[in-house]
Amino acid sequence: MKISPNKEDYIKAIYALNGAHEVISNKDIANELSVSAASVTDMNARLVKENLISYYPYKGVQLTALGVRVTNQLIRKHRLWEVFLYEKLGFQWNEVHDEADRLEHASSDKVTERLNDLLGNPQYDPHGGLIPNADGTIDEEKITLVPLTAIEVNQYFIVKEVPDDEHLLNYLFDKGISINDKYKLININAYDGMLTIKDVHTRDEVTISEKALEKIKVIQLMNG
């Protein structure tokens, strides 16, 4: 049941590319991890054997339920170390990521939970990222949702909730906006109030009208 640091990095990369919800291409993973596409094919075979991903030849991979859970536990370790580095060791928020990336592979569950206690069971890391639970679940209700109108230019956010309004849903669908995707607010038009937002993963920019804003609930993030 123990998984190698390299495999941990792979499933984290897939997760970061939204692999909990959609099929992720070989190329994107190769890109994210700075390895060759052939290496990704290699590793995919290994991850399938451990039931961490589903593999669709020539299409890509998606995390299994187990894969999501394991990745969330990794992210928990990562983010708790980030809090520790930030709060206890006086690191700056931009320095903690790389250090935490190494420590996360070296900490047992026991150390992780003791660390959680030391830090007072924090809910967010220094970047504003939600810290998953020890069992690899995420408490969605802990998240403070705000209307999209509360976001300012250059801030990042994740779309979390839209009302069950057929016209609005169609509108957002046409624009390619999805639940759980991460965006950056690029511009608020001074004249008509329309927002230009950019999908962090696809890098597509779309413009949405003022009319929809109040109903879209998002999580505001501290950075990308």
Residues at the site binding DNA, with contacts judged by CB under 7 A: 4-7, 10, 25-27, 30, 34-44, 46, 55, 57-60
d(CA 175, CA 169): 10
Question: To the nearest whole angstrom, how small is the minimum distance from the Cβ of residue 110 to a copy of itself?
Answer: 8
* Positions in 80-99 near a copy of itself (CB under 8 A): 85, 88-91, 99
Using CA atoms, how far apart are residues 161 and 1, in angstroms rounded to an integer? 35
Cβ contact 73:136 at 8 Å: yes
Please state, in angstroms and rounded to a whole number, the distance separating the CA atoms of residues 207 and 194. 7
Residue from 38, 65, 94, 114 touching a copy of itself (CB under 8 A): that is 114
Stretch that binds a copy of itself, among 17-25, 57-65, 103-111, 173-181 (CB under 8 A): 103-111
Nearest CA to 49 out of 109, 3, 104, 106 is that of: 3
Residue 66 neighbours by CB under 8 Å, 6+ apart: 51, 52
Indicate whether 115 belongs to the interface with a copy of itself (CB under 8 A). Answer: yes
Distance from C-alpha of 69 to C-alpha of 17, rounded to nearest angstrom: 16
Amino acid of residue 190: A
**Which is nearer to a copy of itself, 110 or 167 (by Cβ)?**
110
Find the shortest distance in angstroms from Cβ 103 to a copy of itself. 5
Q: Work out whether the CA dihedral 115, 119, 125, 130 comes out positive or negative.
A: positive
Q: Which is nearer to a copy of itself, 109 or 204 (CB)?
A: 109
CB closer to a copy of itself, 59 vs 102: 102
**What CA–CA distances, in Å, run from 60 to 9, 37, 55, 63, 143?**
17, 11, 6, 10, 30
Question: Rule CB under 8 A: is residue 134 a binding residue for a copy of itself?
Answer: no
Of residues 103 and 213, the one with the C-beta less far from a copy of itself? 103
Is residue 169 at the binding interface for a copy of itself, with CB under 8 A as the rule?
no
The one of DNA, a copy of itself, none whose footprint includes residue 85, by CB under 5 to 8 A per kind, is: a copy of itself
Point out which residues bind a copy of itself (CB under 8 A): 85, 88-91, 99, 102-103, 105-108, 110-111, 114-115, 117-118
